């Protein structure tokens, strides 16, 4: 019993120390979209050849049931769930939860769905991330999430000179079985950013003909 308690304490201390080592991103550009979603069922209408993410929806667990209290399709940010976004970069969890009784279909480009971060600045919401566009038709397809399932994503923590509040926006459009035209917004959260993130894009240079993205 004593050994079990000591092991648990060591794990907690190691996790805390690791979180302290991680740093928020301090950048001067809009980040490219990074929400990659696997699917609960195959898209039989897509031409194929697109990148297929392994991040498939999973059944709602007790934690997700607690934070996703409504019966909607919802985007929930949990900044208390500290994780590593990429090497050395502090991140947090974002959940896309289907608490409806319908299968929901979303448009994707090589498994990247249309989720971007927005900042409230100069009395309006503005994008500080962007979605790159593929010139290859095979990149475009759909992903699906069943009722009572959720996607688990990681987003980077940002820091900069300007304090503000943030949210994430998911463009739903007409690709969902809910026939909901428009956007879904997450809960708001606090942070900071740099002014150049409102205009300049991160950019991207294709590495080969198999990389169909110029931005």
204 found inside a domain: no
Indicate the average pLDDT of the chain: 89
11 found inside a domain: yes
SS3 177: coil
116 found inside a domain: yes
Q: Report strand pairing: 189-193 vs 115-121.
A: unpaired
46 found inside a domain: yes
Residues near 15 by beta carbon (within 8 Å), at least 6 away in sequence: none
Compute the distance between CA of residue 117 and CA of residue 140 in angstroms, rounded to an integer. 22
pLDDT one-digit tens code per residue, 62-72: 999 999 888 89
Compute the distance between CA of residue 1 and CA of residue 201 in angstroms, rounded to an integer. 54
**Could you give the C-alpha distances from 2 to 5, 6, 12, in angstroms and in order?**
5, 6, 16
Beta strands in 56-188 (DSSP E): 58-59, 73-86, 89-98, 104-109, 112-113, 115-121, 124-127, 129-130, 140-145, 149-156, 162-171, 183-185
209 found inside a domain: no
- Percent of the chain at pLDDT > 90 equals 80
111 found inside a domain: yes
Residue 77: predicted pLDDT = 98
Provide the number of structural domains found in the chain. Answer: 1
pLDDT one-digit tens code per residue, 147-191: 999 999 999 999 999 999 999 999 986 544 444 458 999 999 999
Residue 212: predicted pLDDT = 95
Burial group, residue 20, by CB count within 10 angstroms (0-12, 13-18, 19+): exposed
Residue 1: predicted pLDDT = 54
pLDDT one-digit tens code per residue, 11-43: 444 445 455 689 999 999 999 999 999 999 999
130 found inside a domain: yes
**Domain that includes residue 179, residue range:** 2-198
Residue 182: predicted pLDDT = 81
Residue 9: predicted pLDDT = 39
210 found inside a domain: no
């Amino acid at each position: 019993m004593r050994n079990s308690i000591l092991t648990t304490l060591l794990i907690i201390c190691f996790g805390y120390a690791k979180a302290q080592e991680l740093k928020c991103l301090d950048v001067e550009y809009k980040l490219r979209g990074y929400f990659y979603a696997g699917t609960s069922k195959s898209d039989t209408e897509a031409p194929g050849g697109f990148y297929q993410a392994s991040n498939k929806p999973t059944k709602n667990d007790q934690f997700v049931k607690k934070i996703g209290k409504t019966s909607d399709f919802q985007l929930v940010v949990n900044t208390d769930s500290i994780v590593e976004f990429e090497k050395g970069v502090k991140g947090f969890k974002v959940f896309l939860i289907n608490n409806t009784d319908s299968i929901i279909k979303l448009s994707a480009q090589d498994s990247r769905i249309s989720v971007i971060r927005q900042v409230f600045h100069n009395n309006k919401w503005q994008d500080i991330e962007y979605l790159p566009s593929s010139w290859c038709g095979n990149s475009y397809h759909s992903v699906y999430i069943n009722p009572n399932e959720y996607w688990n994503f990681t987003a980077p923590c940002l820091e900069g000179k300007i304090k503000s509040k943030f949210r994430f926006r998911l463009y739903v459009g007409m690709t969902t079985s809910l026939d909901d035209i428009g956007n879904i917004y997450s809960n708001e959260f606090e942070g900071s950013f740099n002014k150049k993130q409102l205009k300049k894009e991160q950019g991207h240079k294709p590495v080969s003909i198999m990389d169909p993205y110029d931005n």
